[in-house]
Structures are given as C-alpha cells and as structure tokens.
A and B are shown apart, each in its own frame.
Chain A
C-alpha cells in the first residue's frame, strides 16, 4: 500500500510539473527588433582577438540533407572545431540549427514564428527571390557596411563584386557567398551511337569542347538513332523529363535579348508559357514526341529515375547529370553495355531568322553569387555573425580540404604543357574522426563561397578533374571546362529585381503545376491542331491563374527601376537595350575569345 502511494505520488507530481511546464512555455517573449549601437561596435579594436566579457550565443543554421551514415550536422568534428577555434577564442557559444534541405522555408518560418531565443541569427536561401521575400517580411536587419569592413575585412574584400545584389530597397540587407564556375554538370551522348549513325564523333577533349551541330543536324541524328535501333527495339534517342519553371527555351529566344524581355520572361521562378519562344520550344518538343524521339512515358517520370534507368540500361542516347567520382551512371552503363562510351553532347546551333545563320545562342549563366544570407532582425550581435563569416573566409582551406593525410593527400599533377604542381586530392573513403560532413563540409562553408578555387586557371581545371571525374572520364570535365571558358560570355544571368515581386511568391507553385500540365497536354497532343488548341487554352488559364498578375507587377517594377536609373549600367553580353532595334549589336567579345565568337558580324555595330 505504502509503495503504491509513493509511486502514485511521484507520477502525480511529475504530471503536474509537466502540465505547468507545458502551459508556462506559451509566451513568445519580446519580439522587438534588436537595437544595434554601430558606433560603439566600431570602437572595438582588433576584432580578430576580441573576447566578450559575458558568454554570448551564436545560432547558425546548417542544411540537413538527411544523408545516412554521416554524423549529425549540428554536432560533429567540424562543428566542434568551430567551437574550439572560433567560439572559445571569443567567448561565444556556437550553436548549429538543423534546417531540412527540403522544406527549408517552412522550417525558417516556423523558427521565426517561435521564441526569439530559439531563432537562428541568420536566415539564408539559394533562391534570390525568396531571400528578397524574407527581407520584405521584415526578417533581416539593416547591416551597416562599416561593420562588415571592420569585423570581416577579408570576407568584405572577397565579396565586393556581389555588393549590388546585397541591397534591398536601398538598404544593405544581405551577405552573399561567391560562386566560382562549376564544371561538373555534364550532358553526355553515346559516342558509339553517334559513330554507328554515321557521324564523326569527337576524339579529344579539345574536339569535344568545340563540337557543334545545327538543330536540324541534331534532329536528323536522333532520328537515325531511332530508325537504326542503335539501342535495341525500344531505343529512346533523347532524354526528356517533366519540365520545371526554368524551361529552357533559349534556342528560340532573340539573341541578343531586349532588356525588357530579359526582365519579364527569362526567369527561374516561373515558366513563361505565353512567350513566343516557349511556344516554339514546346512545338519542337511536340515534334520530338511525334517522331518517337523521347520516351512516351516522359510525363509520368516525375523524379527522372526512369530516364536514368533507360540511359544506364543502354536504351537511351543522352543524359544530363552532375558528374561525381562516385556517380552511379557511367559505371553502371559500362557494366551493362560493355562497349558503351560517352562524350559531351554537342552544342546545338539555332537558326537566327533575321540572318538565316545558325549560331550558338547564349543560355542561362549561373548567378555570380551562391548562398545569400541576412542577419535576423532580432539578432543582438550582428558583429559576432560577421566575425564568424570572417573566420570561415580565413579558414576556408581547412574547412574545404580538411587535414592532410586524413581527408586529403597531396598528389603531383602534370599539365599538358609539362607544368607540374601539387594538388590536394580529397579521399572520399576516409572514415576517421575528422571525416567530412556531406559534400566536404560544403553546407558549413557555403556561407562564404560555393566551391574550391585554385590560384591559376590550370589549377582550377586540375581541381575540377580531381574533384569530379571518375577514372577514364577526365575528358568530360576537361571538355566542359574548355567549353565553359570559351562560351560562357554568351550566357546571361537572371534579371534581378531590387524588390520583392509578391505575386511571384504567391503564385509560382500553382503556375508550376499549371505549366507541367500545359506541357503535358501540348507535347502529348495527337495533331498540330490539338497542340495549338491546348496551347491556347492553357495560355488563358495560365494568365488567369496569376501569370498576368506577375507580368503586371514585373512590368511596373521594371519600368520603375528603369526610370530611377536602377538598372545595371552595363547590360551583359547577349542583352540589348529596349530601344535598340539593331539585333546585331552586342557588347564586344571578351579579349582572347574573339575566335570563338559565333560570327564576325557580332561585336560590331552596323
């Protein structure tokens, strides 16, 4: 009896305590923005060795990609290293907050809706419009540029080129990370198929980089794949899957593009269904489908897995993917089809209607920035955030390559010209104490940069090859590197508005769904008339569902930026002023690349 009484008393007391604790936790606390005394902060001398009198907490979000077999993203060798080398030195407790990579906006919103003491000190996103939305919601404090210069001088210097992207409505709100060019997204084609169809395939990396075909030639080659059944009875010449908002219609765009079209339609967030180039591209894709050059089940392959399986099993002629040393595409292909070989797919030249010439038109260039972060409006120690950015910038090599003999080993690399230098080769198989988090700690150092860079272009190439290329496929990275070096000037980055386009945030998910259905109905249409009818019906529905609203808002924002001289002074190569009807005019081809320009006509004004 006594025992029962004791047990029930303990249970009852703990239940009451839990109740009290549960109800007590409902207050969200003070939600006023932090007040920052910039002048006082600027008086701190030698920030690199500054020690806080009282221990402060710095909360840094970090992506959690749910990769199995890796240590937790918030507590591992590298987070402990940050605490030891950076936190303890300044009397800062560095806490990492896990942010699921899928669903990050929801997580950030949840955190921001909760108690201030649980909120991260920075919020970030790779998508520029989303960062602008955060800024507009009031998530970020304004950062005095003098503070960045004072507390993070190396970071400041290194990201000076990104400054124009860090201002929102005239106030500095963002901290950008640099984005060195990456060379590991490759679109490959079966070399043995090309030769079997009677075409000359490139033999060296140099030839591979320069390989060009007109769109008609390319179409013919794909048709030959099909008729000759080079991959068996159910040959699928071209990889094709459900499109996303970044619908690649570059081959049908004007080139150079007017600045207004660039602002309105060349968008990553929403597909420009009603724009003529999109119509033409869809029509082309419809033709591919009519001729059986793409998989008839392309629109139920939402994940792209079937397309990958088709390529790996030797049924499909092309495939685009991120090449890594441990990729599961090329090895599997040669396991199943022993004589299979791949090269980089050719650059396709499109017809320039005005001149009747075929040229390689510019496509989308990566933004010059990677991750964009802003400091939480409630963060009381923005200087500590900046000190962390500076620490990352200064310790980039350690964070990116790890420890010699463990995470990497030095190898001699000899260039074609005989030049030899040491290169750090990451050992992916290392499983010891200091093993990397996902992708060599990338999710930690992405605050300041997106990739590794060498001191010279040659070293860059060597790093790219060593980082990404599996044995025997070095030519893919090398060719891609050369092609990018030579042709990237033609590509243009996205137009970036200096304000949030609200309708875009509200409608883009709906419009993406619409666009996918529209593409399905159009590309799967049985006749040309059915295609045109589907296109027309969908255009109307698309505009009604919010695209008109987006276009109106973008037009107003664009006109306003234009009126207030907020457009970049120099338009990128491939973009012409709105009032310049001379389609032939373009900015001069960068020095040293004149030979690679499409045609002598370009680069000159008539």
Chain B
C-alpha cells in the first residue's frame, strides 16, 4: 500500500503545472481578470513610488526626471507644516479610536438586550441612517446648527458658543460627528458576532444565577472578543490615515491649527502645488507606518492568544 501511495504521489508530481493548466485552463483564465485588476491597479502603481525619489517632472516622465535620493523625505520631516499635520492626524485618530471604537460594541450589546421586536428594528434603522449621509451634507447641517451667531443652537440658547470656530470646541465636534455618523453602522458586525454565541451558554449562566450584567460580562463580551480584536487591528492600521472629505468640509480658517491633517497637507502641497514627489513620499510613509502598526498589533494579539489577522 505504501509503495502504491508513493507511486501515486510521484505520478501526480510528474503531471506538473502544465497538466493542471491544460485541464482547468478555463478556471485559470477566469482568475486572470481579478489578477489583472490587482496587477494594474495595485502592483503597477507601485512603480510610481519612484516619484518620491525623483525631482519629478511629468513632461520628462519617470525615466528622465533627475534622481534626488532622500531629499524629499528630508524636506518633509523638517517641514513645520508636515509635523503639525502628522501630530493632528495621530491625535485626532487616537481620539477617534478611543471614542469611536467602543461605541458600536456598547450599542450592539444594548441592541441585543432590547426584547421588544419592532422597537429594536426601528432603533437599528434610525441608527444606520447617518452612515448614508455624505460628509458634505453632515458639514452643511453642522454649520447650520452650530454656527457661532446664526446657528440654530446658539440662536435658541441666546449664546455665541464657537462650536466650530474655536479649535478645542471644533476637535470635540469633529470626533462626535464621526461617532454619530458611524456607530450605528459599526454595530452590524458585532451583532453578527453576538448572534454566533451559543445560546446554551446564556442558559447555563442563568442556571448559575447570573444576572444581565454578569451574562454580558462573562458570556457576550468573551464571545465577541475575536471579532473585537480583528476590528481593532484593522482600526490601528488606519491610525495614520485620514479622511480627506471629513476634515476638508468640517474645517475652517479659525481651526486650521488642529484641522490640518496629512490628507489635506498632501492635497495642498502635492496636488495644488503640483509637487507630486512630496505627496508620493508622504503616502509611502503613511503606508509603511500603517503596515508596521498592523503587523505589530497582530503580533501582540497572537502573543495574547487572541488570534490575529495575518
């Protein structure tokens, strides 16, 4: 039997790549489309990263633009504006994470605790709605509501609170608006995770005398943990990223000290001033840091025996 198996294996090996290509060529050809997509839109553009090391002139192209090594990086890391943008990006994202990450989890748990069916559905639908509003609309509404003199809130309260024109107030509004917009939608994945928890566990907990809090703490949360960890790793990967649309429409000149983030910096310097090498270099830096963060958090998660992403 043993010999036969060996023979079979060697026969299989002999068949080689060509055999499978020939036999399943339609399948391989079909996968060529997504592969082509990856090559054209994800891999070929990587060649463009060379712009970060060139004094890039679109008319001369990659091949003829002079090579300048790391001087663009030097310029960026000594530039006051970039450092401010970097600081703001990190600070705003950390606060976004601190305030925005737990909200969907809490909300998902609260939703599962609602027992009245129609009320639960209505609440869920209302919570999802803000996700479908674009940031332009949200900013429009925010300025109508919170403008210092003509905003509805200030007019009603008879005050002039600079919700959007003073940088600390603005930062709070900025974070809260994102929490408001995304928390409902974010519950979907956690609700799915909660649905996956075995009902027997709750039953057993009840028999052991656990109340609602205890069940949430000892059954629901541990059941959600793998999902939470994966979501956290992904969120950490976005720590260096920034949502251009959100910052751009919510900011104004009074709060630029806080609202200038990497995305707006890249847009202004890279695209408005046509310094493509700067925007490429910043993009590269952002991606590398994002990758390091993802890998590091993945390692930590694995070390804590919570599974990982990679």
Partner-B contacts on A (CB < 8 A): 8-9, 11-13, 15-16, 18-19, 22-23, 26, 28, 31, 105-106, 109-110, 112-113, 137-139, 242, 296-297, 299-300, 302, 377, 505-510, 513, 516-517, 519-520, 524, 541, 544-545
Not counting A113-B59, A302-B252, a sample of 12 additional A-B residue pairs whose C-beta atoms are within 8 angstroms of each other reads: A8-B26, A18-B33, A19-B36, A106-B274, A113-B58, A296-B148, A296-B149, A297-B147, A505-B273, A510-B81, A513-B256, A517-B257
Interface residues on B, range: 35 or more
> What would 12 A/B residue contacts be, using CB atoms closer than 8 Å?
A112-B58, A113-B61, A137-B58, A296-B149, A297-B149, A300-B254, A377-B59, A506-B273, A508-B273, A509-B269, A517-B256, A520-B254
In Å, the complex CA distance between A509 and B272 comes to: 6
Nearest CB to that of A21 among chain B residues? B36
Nearest 8 pairs between A and B by C-beta?
A12-B29, A509-B272, A113-B58, A8-B26, A520-B253, A109-B58, A300-B252, A509-B273
Contact (Cβ within 8 A) A22 B40: yes
Chain B nearest CB, measured from A80 CB (Å): 32
Contact (Cβ within 8 A) B25 A300: no
For chain B, residues 179 to 230, give those with C-beta under 8 angstroms from any C-beta of chain A: none
Nearest CB to that of A105 among chain B residues? B274
Nearest CB to that of B272 among chain A residues? A509
Contacts known (A15-B30, A18-B33); A507 close to B253, Cβ less than 8 A: no
Cβ-based interface call for B302 (8 A): no
Chain A residues, CB < 8 A from B273: 505-510
Contact (Cβ within 8 A) B149 A22: no
Contact (Cβ within 8 A) A138 B252: no
Nearest CB to that of A506 among chain B residues? B273
Chain B nearest CB, measured from A136 CB (Å): 9
Cβ-based interface call for B99 (8 A): no
Chain A nearest CB, measured from B104 CB (Å): 31
In Å, the complex CA distance between A300 and B143 comes to: 9
Cβ-based interface call for B169 (8 A): no
Partner of B274, one of A13, A377, A505, A517: A505
Partner of B59, one of A137, A507, A516: A137
Nearest CB to that of B264 among chain A residues? A513
Chain A residues, CB < 8 A from B36: 15, 18-19, 22-23
Contact (Cβ within 8 A) B253 A509: no
Cβ-based interface call for B271 (8 A): yes
Contact (Cβ within 8 A) B57 A137: yes
Chain B nearest CB, measured from A260 CB (Å): 26
Cβ-based interface call for B299 (8 A): no
Chain A nearest CB, measured from B55 CB (Å): 11
In Å, the complex CA distance between A100 and B62 comes to: 25
In Å, the complex CA distance between A13 and B26 comes to: 8
Chain B nearest CB, measured from A397 CB (Å): 36
Chain B residues, CB < 8 A from A516: 253, 256
In Å, the complex CA distance between A508 and B269 comes to: 9
For chain B, residues 59 to 81, give those with C-beta under 8 angstroms from any C-beta of chain A: 59-61, 64, 80-81
Chain B nearest CB, measured from A545 CB (Å): 7
